[in-house]
Amino acid sequence: MNIRIASVALIVSLFVSCADENDTTADLVQQEISVELNLVKMSGQIRGSETTGEEMSWRETYTLGPGMRFKKVRKSEGKTLTSEGFFDIVMINSDKYLKFVHDSDSELVGNCTGDKTELLKYTSSDSLESTWSACDGPGLQYTFN
């Protein structure tokens, strides 16, 4: 039960206004629990190409942990890929994002810039979308577990 309460506390702190972004980040660094973001929907550039559940091409999870570290795991066709790095909460043009910076180059990095950074934009308090679709990548929607 204490883990559930701590998980809720972390999720609430993720959604606190970023008016003072440094305080929010400091609060997250002190957390000693992990929270998961799960891929729940994929879409392509063609209208009506949305898939969910078992129909998706792959399963994917970000585990956000202590020290602002993350681990990304993708499972597809019996193969598991992982990548790790640091995450932060950032504001860009008054929109809130989770920013992931991978420790090394990886095919798991989905972005338009070709570097080790990924951005997931908050679309609601418990839902985020990848920005990869802006450059013909898949539309990826995640929710907190």
Q: What is the pLDDT of residues 33-84, one digit of tens each?
A: 789 999 999 998 777 789 999 899 899 999 999 889 999 999 999 999 999 9
CATH number where 57 lies: 2.40.128
pLDDT at residue 27, rounded to an integer: 53
> Structural domain tally of the chain?
1
pTM (two decimals): 0.78
User: Each residue of 3-38: pLDDT tens digit?
Assistant: 444 444 444 454 444 444 443 433 544 556 789 999
HSE value, Cβ hemisphere, 13 Å, CA-based, for 35: 23
Residue 85 has pLDDT above 50, yes or no: yes
Residue 120 has pLDDT above 50, yes or no: yes
Q: Characterise 114 by phi-psi region: left (phi > 0), alpha (psi -120 to 50), beta (else).
A: left
User: Each residue of 98-119: pLDDT tens digit?
Assistant: 999 999 999 999 998 999 999 9
For 16, the domain range is 2-144
Residue 96 has pLDDT above 70, yes or no: yes
Enumerate residues 6+ apart whose C-beta is below 8 A from 56. Answer: 39, 41, 42
